[in-house]
Structure 1
Amino acid sequence: MRIRILLILMIICFHFSSPASAEVPLTAVFIRDHQLWLKKDGQEIQLTKDRYVDSAKWSYDGRFIGYIDGDEKGDKSDLFIYDTQLQESYQPYVRVETSDYKWSPNKNQLAYTDHGLLNVTKIKNGRPHGFENVSLGVSGFEWFPNGQEFIVSAQSNLLPTGWSPIPLYRIPVDANLAKDKMQPFYTIQTTIPDLFGTDADYFKWSADGKWVSFLVIPTLSWSMDSNTLSVLSSKGKNFQAVGKMLGYQDWFKWAPSANQLAYISGEGRFFVENKKTTIAGIPIVKQRQYTPKGFVDLDLEWYSNDLIIVARAKENKGWKEGPPPTMFTSLYAINMTTGEQQQISFPGKNELEEDPQVVGNTLTWFRTTAEQTKGDVWVKNTLDGQAYIWLRNVDSPPIFFTPQQSP
């Protein structure tokens, strides 16, 4: 009888405990010891050897992975593509040197800049191969959601009368350097100090494709302390300056399916104070800050249209000089409907949480220490689920594959 009761209790315990530790079907590429790896169906597969990999990105359908093969000194920046079907790396041309490349939102085509020249790859045997010129004089760029055009910025010029405005263009993929195809899209009239900038970059489209957000970036020293988050309507008619923030492109993100823009507001290059999670409805009607007094938020990610995840630390206003202190962050969930805020990750002593990412209902983040650059990737299948390690000893946060959904 006792044995029977014990077996029943074991079955019950297994039934309720196993979902908390069961892995969810995530697919990601990641970098370990400077090499590109893939984790799929629970298996870790090394994709490169003897390289110095950075900036991995998935193609829209997941067949291809772009990456930069560089070196420790930063003197090298060669673009490679890994073909998951043929299981090989190749270069789309004899040599492509770039630090800024982007996949099309609806086809396996790459766009990249090479010393101000915007190019797109052609297709050969179903793979990106070769290239065609698009435009000269390009500073920042992004695909339009239709995959047929680019929004392009050009840097302003310093004139005897001051800095010229920042021009934005709408350029078709097949422009091929033709001047008559370079359509002016919007001109950012900059003023000191309210909206000063010499460049615009880090373009991101809202879920419905009706707005694009980006940073207006001032001169180098100034940009380390303050940039202007801005939005522009898809027709190039309605421009609005949203707020001041640092130049981290992961610090501003659109809601999954609403025209709400979350960003970490605040000026000053050090993280010790004045970094607040702020939500702006677009077009701007009102903004609201959610970071409590005495804290700073240093990363964010939307979980749903009403719930946002932040990496939060205590302020350190006592620091005045010397090396900047490490800000030991934990993850918090903010319910914008109820105003409730709850801590959802609990790192150990000298550990900090970085780069929260949401895939479906799954929350992932990168946990590292003050002394190390490597770390582990943690996962929660649901926000109230049990956290577990999904990847160990990786160089940086992974890049998850999520199918693209066009507006």
Structure 2
Amino acid sequence: MNYRMLLSLFVIFFSLSTAAGAAGEVPLTAAFVRNNQLWVKEGSEERQLTYSQHVYNPKWSFDGRFIAYIDGDEQGEKSDLYIYDMVKNESYQPYVQVSATDFKWSPNNNQLAYNDQGILNVTKIKHGRPEMFENVSLGVSGFEWFPNGKEFIVSSQSNLLPTGWGPIELFKVAADANLQQEKIHPFFTILTNKDLFAITAEEFKWSDDGKWLSFLAIPTASWSNDSNSLCVITAKGERFQEVGKMLNNQDWFNWAPNKNQLAYISGEGRFLVENKRTTIAEMPAFIGQKVYTPKGDVDLDLSWYSPDVVIVARSKENKEWKEGPVPTMYTSLYSIHLKSNDQKQLTAPKEKERDDTPQAVNGYITWVRHMENEQNNVWIREGLEGKDSIWIKNVESEPVFYIEKHKL
């Protein structure tokens, strides 16, 4: 074997090793859905977890051992709650048959709470796994764990009275309440009116320091398609206020890391062609709010990259559209530096492609690129200036990352 051949083999080997090393250097773990089945990707390795279900909405447990998910159907008539055990490599139901409209893991242990047609339940822990359940509270519309993992904030839908819709009641409920009224306490009463009309409160999210709680006050079905009230309340319930109007999209409002700032996409109207603006509210929200979307643009998704940088999915407005099929808004990702208001385009999808659902995880940025009549892929970049590459091919929606506590 001559010198040139040896050199050529060395270059090929080095290139392959470098490529494999680069792929393995992505220190992220994500659950995702492909062809209706649950998959996991760790670094460069993919693994299929289910084979005969219709999976959606996977969520990681506190320590990453479990993934809860819904096994549904195309008609939306089935919503069976399952848990995948990453240690035992098996799916199981925490009880004989559990149907859930909403479910959430405890912030500091492996208990799983779920809403079963208005009944809030929480799993027990048996042999280290969440199994069986206990009733917590009745009449539940929305809920969220308190950061201490010992209590819930619970909303109850307002009642329709001869004089109109009544108030929305919020309660503080012990996780071990087991329907005992002495462990269920009134937290706050939301008095609704023509300016803040709603019949339920849902999509609760805590600020990073646990001092503020944001949520959507949602009106009746048709109205909620056009406008909902983004609200905040302090952890003790002594201060409440409406922040602004927005669509009913839980991904469109998020708390900053390490700051009491709330980013949301403001604007009414169900059509995404105009009037959707990235807005930052400083707590308390009456201190002031600032809109960052330039005139002529719309922002249709957002995520915090750092305490001072927000990433948005942005497109040009389409005010010319008036009727007929709603046009697709082809978005690209942009970064917004809040202090300087410097805004830069991060991605450049091709014609008839769009980038959305940005996520920032441990210094990486991921997003989904949608291609017309083709599969959707998850792209990744290290930092704001890194090189783009495909990380996961053929996904139903954005991946769900396992993030260790106190990491963004």
Structure 2 counterpart of 1:68: 70
Structure 2 counterpart of 1:26: 28
Structure 2 counterpart of 1:233: 234
Q: 2:115 aligns with which of 113, 116, 129?
A: 113
Deviation at 1:370, TM superposition (A): 4.0
What is the distance in 1 between the residues matched to 2:390 and 2:128? Answer: 37
What is the distance in 1 between the residues matched to 2:23 and 2:49? Answer: 27
Q: 1:42 aligns with which of 38, 41, 44?
A: 44
For the residue of structure 2 that corresponds to 1:180, the secondary structure is helix
**1:145-224 correspondence to structure 2 within 5 Å:** 145-192=147-194, 194-224=195-225
Q: 1:359 aligns with which of 352, 358, 361?
A: 361
- Contact 1:326–1:370 (CA under 8 A) maintained in structure 2: no
Structure 2 counterpart of 1:246: 247
Structure 1 counterpart of 2:301: 299
What is the distance in 2 between the residues matched to 1:179 and 1:368? Answer: 49
Deviation at 1:99, TM superposition (A): 2.2
- Contact 2:24–2:43 (CA under 8 A) maintained in structure 1: no
Deviation at 1:158, TM superposition (A): 1.0
- 1:267 maps to amino acid: E
Structure 2 counterpart of 1:382: 383
What is the distance in 2 between the residues matched to 1:353 and 1:165? Answer: 40
- 1:119 maps to amino acid: N
What is the distance in 1 between the residues matched to 2:311 and 2:21? Answer: 23
Segment of structure 1 superposing worse, 173-182 or 81-90: 173-182
Structure 2 counterpart of 1:330: 332
1:135-179 residue CA offsets vs partner (Å, 9 max, x unmatched)? 000000000000000000000011111110100000000111112
- 1:213 maps to amino acid: S
- The TM-score with structure 2 as length reference comes to 0.94
Percent pairwise identity? 60
1:84-112 residue CA offsets vs partner (Å, 9 max, x unmatched)? 01111111000000120000000000000
- 2:137 maps to amino acid: S
Segment of structure 1 superposing worse, 34-43 or 106-115: 34-43
What is the distance in 1 between the residues matched to 2:88 and 2:270? Answer: 45
- Contact 2:120–2:140 (CA under 8 A) maintained in structure 1: yes
What is the distance in 1 between the residues matched to 2:223 and 2:183? Answer: 34
Q: Give ranges in structure 1 of 5+ residues lacking alignment.
A: none
What is the distance in 1 between the residues matched to 2:149 and 2:91? Answer: 25
Cα gap change, 1:22 to 1:331, in 2 (>3 Å)? farther
Deviation at 1:18, TM superposition (A): 10
Deviation at 1:180, TM superposition (A): 2.1
Deviation at 1:371, TM superposition (A): 3.8
Segment of structure 1 superposing worse, 235-244 or 396-405: 396-405
Q: Which runs of 4+ in 1 moved over 6 A?
A: 13-22
Deviation at 1:397, TM superposition (A): 0.8
Deviation at 1:14, TM superposition (A): 11
**1:252-331 correspondence to structure 2 within 5 Å:** 252-284=253-285, 285-331=287-333
- Contact 1:104–1:111 (CA under 8 A) maintained in structure 2: yes
- 2:339 maps to amino acid: T
For the residue of structure 2 that corresponds to 1:225, the secondary structure is coil
Q: CA RMSD in A?
A: 2.5
Structure 2 counterpart of 1:81: 83
For the residue of structure 1 that corresponds to 2:182, the secondary structure is helix
- The TM-score with structure 1 as length reference comes to 0.94
Aligned residues: 404
For the residue of structure 2 that corresponds to 1:212, the secondary structure is strand
- Contact 1:80–1:91 (CA under 8 A) maintained in structure 2: yes
- Contact 1:255–1:305 (CA under 8 A) maintained in structure 2: yes
- 2:104 maps to amino acid: K
For the residue of structure 2 that corresponds to 1:250, the secondary structure is helix
What is the distance in 2 between the residues matched to 1:125 and 1:354? Answer: 41
For the residue of structure 1 that corresponds to 2:328, the secondary structure is coil
For the residue of structure 2 that corresponds to 1:338, the secondary structure is coil
Higher RCO (CA-CA < 8 Å; seq separation 6+): 1
What is the distance in 2 between the residues matched to 1:134 and 1:39? Answer: 35
For the residue of structure 1 that corresponds to 2:367, the secondary structure is strand
Cα gap change, 1:258 to 1:85, in 2 (>3 Å)? same
